[in-house]
Amino acid sequence: MERTTAFASEMTWPDYDAAVRDGRTPILIPIGSMEQHGHHMPLHVDVLLPTEFARRVAEQTGALVAPPFTYGYKSHQKSGGGNHLPGTTSLDGATLVAALRDVIREFARHGVRRICLVNGHYENSWFIIEGIDLALRELRWDGITDMKIVVLSYWDFVDKATIGRLYPNGFPGWELEHGGVLETSLMLALHPGLVHLDRALDVAPARFPPYDVYPVRPEWTPCSGTLSSPKEASAEKGEILLEVCTTGIVAALRAEFG
């Protein structure tokens, strides 16, 4: 039957079963966080963005989008402002690893053999890899050796030419983009009603020493919670990012999954 949704959770179980049991349909799993994103954006930015990229990619590739991980690993001060900030609600690494391992094993049980983890929260990265490694090891014990998993973060598909278009006055670097032009532009394009750019603080890019201190030193994080200014964000820049990243992800999955 003709598929009417890209989201696996919106399907009946017989329709889902028919779609995935032969292993041909990839499953895309968005992985985000509940994390502060400044005075101008909501706490679930890192869930909304990878979920939308996954949806767009699924519509072009025939994949299905799984329910997202809505909590992620702890916010690091140099990439997310720090786990001490109000609103940020995080998992221990072991919790995230165990949950991801379980979900991968369950999809394998359904017949799925192609999975893509679409990450929207930088700090998840190494825990995603650990969850995958443990899941694949346990699946091999059960005789399942044909699983293939792709891990990607949407921002890695932004090339130098696009960076030049988005940041004509200079690029602060990905490590300082938390709550800045990239995420804010995407949110303006996708969810403008959730963005209050008039409340954004025009802060200078954060400056950190070449080491970390724990407990964190709150004064190192700009008062906005963002690590650079979002003032140059626009919906037009968001549309550019949507096109570039979606095209890149689709090409990557076609190369890896066929």
Q: So which residues are the catalytic ones?
A: 35, 37, 46, 121, 123, 178, 183
Q: Please give the Cα distance from 186 to 240 (Å, whole number).
A: 9
DSSP string, 66-110: PPPB---BPPPHHHHS-TTSTT-B-B-HHHHHHHHHHHHHHHHHH
Q: Which residues of 127-141 are buried (b: 16+ CB within 10 A; e: fewer)?
A: bbebbbebbbeebee
In order of 72, 84, 139, 202, the CA distances from 78 in angstroms are 16, 13, 36, 18
Residues linked to residue 69 through DSSP beta bridges, in sequence order: 31
How many other C-beta atoms are found inside a 10 Å radius of the C-beta of residue 168? 9
